[in-house]
Amino acid sequence: MSALADAIKRGRPRTDLGETSPFTGLHRRHARTVDVIAQSVAATAPAGVLLIHPGALYGRSGSFAFFDIVLTLTLVIAVALVIGMFARRISSTGSLYTFAARGLGPHVGLLAGGALGVGYLAISMNTLSSGASRIARLLTGHTDSPTPLAPALTLFFGAIIAVVIARGLRMSTRILLVVESIAVLTVLGLSIAALALTRWDISLLIPQPQHISTEAIMTGVAFALIGFVGFESGVALGPETRRPFAAVPRAILISVGATGLVMLVGTAAQLSLVSERPGAASLESVTGLAGLIDLIIAISFLACALAMTNAATRLMFAMSREGVLPPVFGRVSQRGVPALGGVLLTALVTVVPFTVFALGGSRQDLRMVTSPASTLGFVLAYTLICLAAPIFLWRLRELTLRSAMLSAVPFAGLTTVLCFYLGATTRDNPLGLAWSAVILAAIVVWGTVTLARRPSLASRLGVHDWAVDSDALDTPSRR
């Protein structure tokens, strides 16, 4: 045993830090960097997104499809670096909500928290319904949607998600790691095979200047961005992670890099197929492995539903501990997990698509609301974080020109994307956008009224974890 290990073993905890933190009851400091990566990668569902996005992206942006992926990845990396500014200083299950509240105050914090919560739950509903529908089609052989088995499978997979969340963090993240690893490796194998089949034809990866269109590029970026949202969800595991101020920022960047690499390789493969066979815009149409590809998409989306619900559970946990939400969301089980809150959120995520299917609706009917809700929620939350970062650092007297510029660039990009998306969706899906805006506005109004009735809550918003006696050793000089 080394001298350091022996000193740690014989060391005594400090007694002046206190025995509790705002997140008392959680199983603190047990998760590892790999758990944060698994959570973040699964939330982006790279395998499932990759198999359905590139063809649709090409239809929107033409020869600028690959350029849009590169541009979006650059934007997401910049946002990840901004999030790292907070994650190196604050650890909270509230993630971006807590960061926004610390930087911009309680009311804007509520807006960011509401947007983030709407985004998490909307994607959970969308991916759960999509995964259940695809599995139902594989089991019944029906090509139409929805199939009669879809409602029952939605309930079944929803129950599995609730059980996994209640069993504990590491169980859920390890399941996510295994599932997404298998799915991603399979998709990468298919992508490399497709590139070899087309003799590495990358002509469509190079934008054609004569086809340049600002609207097409903006449409592509807004569409591609949905393939990366959720990458920040690992931040919510901070209080449960060992060395969170080092592990979480590192894990977020690794997650973005891994997801970006998969998206770049897969998109290049699918665009090479389009170049070689103009009528075939997907791996499915060339490989003939429709069943396997449908299964990969379904599994990846179900993993995404689990990851998003996991993140939403911890967001609600933080808001409950602050007094904004009912205490039920802040309770933890003997396993150190906000199990009851997770079960309640899973029930909501499950009941909505189940009801749509049971009433004869389809995934498209559900997506009319969940798609604008998820995009609006995440882009708004990311935009507010980029605005909050320099103000937060200025209050700490740590603002530098580099950090200000690093925040300003993605803020400008996200604001442009958000304005463009709102304008385009107002034209193409006004009812879905209206419902999304009403839901978000109702959450913000409810939170604002709560703060007005209980002004003391304003000082509690943005609560974060801190060290307790058991986290630190007493030094000889203090004994």
Which domain CATH number covers 168? 1.20.1740.10
Confidence class of residue 85 from pLDDT cuts 50, 70 and 90? very high
> Is 10 inside a domain boundary?
no
**Cβ-Cβ contacts under 8 Å for 48 (sequence gap 6 or more):** 127, 130, 183, 296, 297, 298, 299, 300, 301, 304
- Tokens 């758990």 locate to 35
What is the tally of helices (H) and strands (E) in the chain? Answer: 16, 0
> Is 120 inside a domain boundary?
yes
**Regarding predicted confidence, which is higher, 101 or 8?**
101
Residue 211, helix vs strand vs coil: helix
| Structure confidence at residue 456 (pLDDT) | 83
Cα angle 373, 374, 378 (rounded to 5 degrees) comes to 115
Nearest C-alpha neighbor of 417 from the set 375, 368, 370, 374:
375
Nearest C-alpha neighbor of 375 from the set 158, 133, 126:
126
Dist CA 433 CA 420 (whole Å): 13
The number of domains in the chain is 1
| Structure confidence at residue 305 (pLDDT) | 95
Confidence class of residue 275 from pLDDT cuts 50, 70 and 90? low
User: pLDDT tens digits, residue range 357-389?
Assistant: 888 888 888 999 999 999 999 999 999 999 999
Tally of CA atoms within 13 A in the half-sphere of 478 that contains its CB: 10
Q: Provide the mean pLDDT of the chain.
A: 86
Complete DSSP assignment for 75-99: HHHHHHHHHHHHHTT---TTTHHHH
> Is 80 inside a domain boundary?
yes
- Residue 376 lies in domain: 34-450
> Is 422 inside a domain boundary?
yes
DSSP H helical ranges for 277-362: 283-287, 290-322, 339-358
Q: In this structure, which amino acid lies at residue 408?
A: A
Dist CA 85 CA 287 (whole Å): 44
Q: Is the pLDDT of residue 4 over 80?
A: no
> Is 25 inside a domain boundary?
no
Please state, for a pLDDT cut of 70, what percent of the chain lies above it: 86
Q: How far apart are the first and last CA of the chain?
A: 24
| 153-157, 158-162, 398-402, 449-453: segment of lowest average pLDDT | 449-453
Strand partners, 473: 13
Residues 236-249 have a mean pLDDT of 91
> Is 346 inside a domain boundary?
yes
> Is 143 inside a domain boundary?
yes
Q: How long is the chain?
A: 479
| Structure confidence at residue 393 (pLDDT) | 96
Distances (CA, A) of 457 to 176, 319, 461: 36, 11, 7
Dist CA 117 CA 378 (whole Å): 9
User: pLDDT tens digits, residue range 6-51?
Assistant: 655 666 666 555 556 788 888 888 889 999 999 999 999 877 787 7
State the CB neighbour count (10 A cutoff) for residue 430.
Answer: 11
> Is 3 inside a domain boundary?
no
